[in-house]
Amino acid sequence: MNITENVMTVQGETWREFTLFNDSNMEVSILNFGGIISRIITPDRHGNVENVVLGFENYRDYAVNPAFFGAIIGRVAGRIPNAAFTINNQAYYLDANDGKNHLHGGPNGFHHKLWNADPYETKTTVGVRLSLDSPDMESGYPGNVRINVCYELDNHNRLRITYHAEADRTTPLALTNHTYFNLSGNVTQSVANHHITMKNAGFAELDQEFIPTGSILDPAGTPFDFSSGRPIQDGIQSIHPQNKIVGNGYDHYFLFEKNGDPDVTVYEPESGRTLTVTTNEPGLVLYTSNNLDDGLKLDGGESGRYAGVCLETQKHPAALTNSNFPSILVTPDQPYHTTTTFTINTK
C-alpha cells in the first residue's frame, strides 16, 4: 500500500491530489479542493481495471462543479426551504442558490473550499486527513465549526470516510459525500441496470421543489421498496408520482431499517462489481442523476441523465422543521461524528 501526490495550480490556488493504492489493485484519488473523490479505480470480474465514479477530464472544471461531483457537502447537505431556519426562536438567513432555497451549503459551501490535507499510513491502511475551519455566520450559519474528514483505504477494498466536527454554538450540521458511482466502468453505460438492495423503513415525500412535505411514506408495493432488490430502471420507467416529480428516477431520502446487514448493496451484473455501503447514519439520499446536464467532459466519457448514482449517507435538513427526521443540530457538548464505508468487490 502506498500514497502518491500530484500538485497543480488552478485559478491561482495550489491544489493537491492524493492517490491511495492498496494491494488489491484498487486506487482512490482525492483532491484537497472540495475534498473531492476524483477517481476510484477497481477491476471488474474479468480483471479490467476501470474508473467507477464520475469525475471531470479537466481538473479546472472542478472550480465550478455544478453537479458536486465527488465533493464533501456542508454545512448542510440538501435543501433548506426559503433559505432560512430558526433555532431557539432566533431566525437565521442563508444564501439562496436553488431558486428561493438553500442547497448543499450554498454557493460557498464546503465543496468549494481548499481543505488542509495530511496523508498518513497505518499498518493496515493508507489515508488522507482533511481539515477545515468554518467561521461564525459563514453563509449565514451560526457558530465557529472545526471539521475533520478522513478518507482511508485498506486491502479489503474498503474506503472508509470518517467525519468529525466541533462547534462553539448550537448549529445545524449534516455532512455527506456526493460521489456519483457507475460500476459499469469508464461511464460505458447508464446506471439503469444497477440493482439496489436496501431495507428502509420509509422514504420522504417530496413537493414540486424537491422539499420534503414532512410525511414519511411506506415503500411497500412501490418502486421505492428495495428490500428484495430492484434495478434503477424500475424508478426511471415508473408512473409513481414521487418518481415523476423528480424527473423520472430517484432523488429521495430513505430512512434505514437497521438489522446488521449492509445498509445498501449495489450490483452491476455485466461487470460483476458490487458496492456495499455501511454507515452509522440514519439514512441516505438516493439520487440517480435524473437532472444531470448532458455533455460535461468526464474522465472516460460524457455526462448525461442516469450516468451515475449517488448514495449520500446523512441526516436530513427536513429535521429543522419536522420531528419525523433525526435532528441535525450540533452543540458544544455534542460534537458531530459519523462514519460511512464503501466496499467494492466483484462476483
What are the pLDDT digits (tens) for 279-301? Answer: 999 999 999 999 999 989 999 88
Q: What are phi and psi of 345, to 5 degrees?
A: -135, -175
Selected catalytic residue, list 102, 104, 178, 194: 178
Selected catalytic residue, list 50, 281, 312, 316: 312
Active site residue 312: yes
Grid cell for residue 118: 495530511
Residue 47 pLDDT exceeds 80: yes
What is the distance of C-alpha 90 from the center of its chain? 30
Grid cell for residue 201: 423503513
| Cα 210 from Cα 94, distance rounded (Å) | 18
Give Cβ neighbours of residue 263 (< 8 Å, ≥ 6 apart).
198, 199, 256, 277, 278, 279, 284, 313
Active site residue 178: yes
**Mean predicted lDDT score pLDDT of the chain:** 96
Do 66 and 56 touch, CB atoms closer than 8 A?
no
What are 136-170's pLDDT values in tens digits? 999 999 999 999 999 999 999 999 999 999 999 99
Give Cβ neighbours of residue 161 (< 8 Å, ≥ 6 apart).
149, 150, 151, 152, 177, 339, 340, 341, 342
What are 222-254's pLDDT values in tens digits? 999 999 999 999 999 999 999 999 999 999 999
Portion of the chain with pLDDT greater than 70, in percent: 100
Residue 262 pLDDT exceeds 80: no
Angle at 193 between CA 281 and CA 187, to 5 degrees: 85
If pLDDT is split at 50, 70 and 90, which confidence band does 347 have? confident
If pLDDT is split at 50, 70 and 90, which confidence band does 260 have? low
Domain 2-346 classification at class level: mainly beta
What kind and span of H or E run contains 337? strand 336-346
